[in-house]
Structure 1
């Protein structure tokens, strides 16, 4: 079973001991790949009973949907936009992650979102039985997911800046006495890039869809993390074995990716 996002937004109060749950999602989508065992209770029902009423768990038509609706480019784009031109000088305070987004950042978010959609639509064009044509863009997803928390939903920029859940959230930084430096080893890069963006980028190679905006973010992120995934426009870097891209598992066809299993031949 896999779900598009964590059910909870949390803040660490005391490392290793206490967290504060600031928001619980009302609904999240998930997928199920069934094995040979026959469970005594439906899997989704069992997990729902464990969680309680919130969030309500819904099963999508195909697990591939979650690769795109997790919008794993979101936080890496915010990191890229904030720090790509950083001069290396320490800051006196931690900058805001969401409320300080700019029009240029939003344009890049929308461009990456379009590239994710292009890959999804290319899959459906080749495999009509896998319908990924209704995957929302990043703006419509944010509006729907945070509809009770957004004060101004007239644009993606305003939706991010006026989202109550995002209010006060800061960039993950490394503190050095009284100054701060960006943390390029934070989960926004070390998880969202190799476990998210590189996965979609890997599938894009199979359906021959270019992703120039995502490529720019991946290339910047891998440099900051001292990793190599994307080399000369191909996912052939030395650190590909640390990702969840289909290439890492030896998949050679789109059918193998969509089934989650290698063919016997």
Structure 2
């Protein structure tokens, strides 16, 4: 068996050969807690352990078994999900990190910053508004996937127990496990620059937001806010994964459904039903 923690990034596509050989692949919607480095190569500190986790497996017939295993290993209540799409489209880091980075660095043209806000503690209303807008577009994608149960793709307002952008900002500012987390940056000559090699960039855009956009293409859902954030990332990193409604020259690098012969919504739904 092979566990992805969290299980985002289109792993149901690039692990197909393993599943065909008899492996069980399973993944979580989110991580159990925030991990911070204590001693490099030796130990970490976990903060803010969740009370509940959600898991899906491939094949789906193994989901209940894997949820039980995970629950026993980590001593945490774990709910089995109806299918893996509820993991892949979870609006966590692929929406959370990417929108915040856009707000922080959208005007970056090469000049360094004397200081940068803390990533979460100084989270602002502009970030919340964009986060809610992108999350709504993701929810619209789910609504178009009518042949599958996507009910566990919980909106971020519900997840953070917020009613609007103001209460969302207050909530994110106040999460204890987020305190002190810095904006990914590198220092040079006393100035700070965005760290494009940070996992916030290298994972959450290509293996997060790009995957969401790939699903938007299959469902024909308009995503102007996701497009704005994704286009900015592709411009500053010189990548071309998706250009409008077309796949870009770098799309071969990503585990998006289109790279595995899935060209229609019907084919997508059949994939998850036949897991």
Report the equivalent of 1:138: 156
Bigger proportion of residues as helix:
2
Higher RCO structure (Cα 8 Å, ≥6 apart)? 2
Structure 1 unaligned residues grouped into runs of 5+: 145-152
Q: How many residues align?
A: 246
CA displacement 1:104-133 (0-9 Å, x = unmatched) = 221111100100000000112xx2xx2325
Matches of 2:29 and 2:60, distance apart in 1: 21
Matches of 1:35 and 1:59, distance apart in 2: 9
Matches within 5 A, 1:1-265: 1-34=26-59, 42-51=65-74, 53-54=75-76, 56-71=77-92, 72-124=94-146, 127=147, 130-133=148-151, 135-143=153-161, 155-176=167-188, 178-231=190-243, 233-260=244-271
CA RMSD across the alignment = 2.7
Q: How far 1:259 sits from its partner (Å)? A: 4.1
CA displacement 1:10-52 (0-9 Å, x = unmatched) = 112333333221232221111122289x89x93322233222x
Contact between 1:80 and 1:220, CA under 8 Å: does it hold in 2? yes
User: When the two structures are superposed, what TM-score results if normalisation uses the length of structure 2?
Assistant: 0.80
Matches of 1:234 and 1:166, distance apart in 2: 36
Q: How far 1:95 sits from its partner (Å)? A: 2.7
Structure 2 unaligned residues grouped into runs of 5+: 1-25
User: When the two structures are superposed, what TM-score results if normalisation uses the length of structure 1?
Assistant: 0.83
Matches of 1:196 and 1:27, distance apart in 2: 22
**DSSP 3-state at the match of 1:155:** helix
Contact between 2:27 and 2:56, CA under 8 Å: does it hold in 1? yes
Matches of 1:131 and 1:215, distance apart in 2: 26
**DSSP 3-state at the match of 1:69:** coil
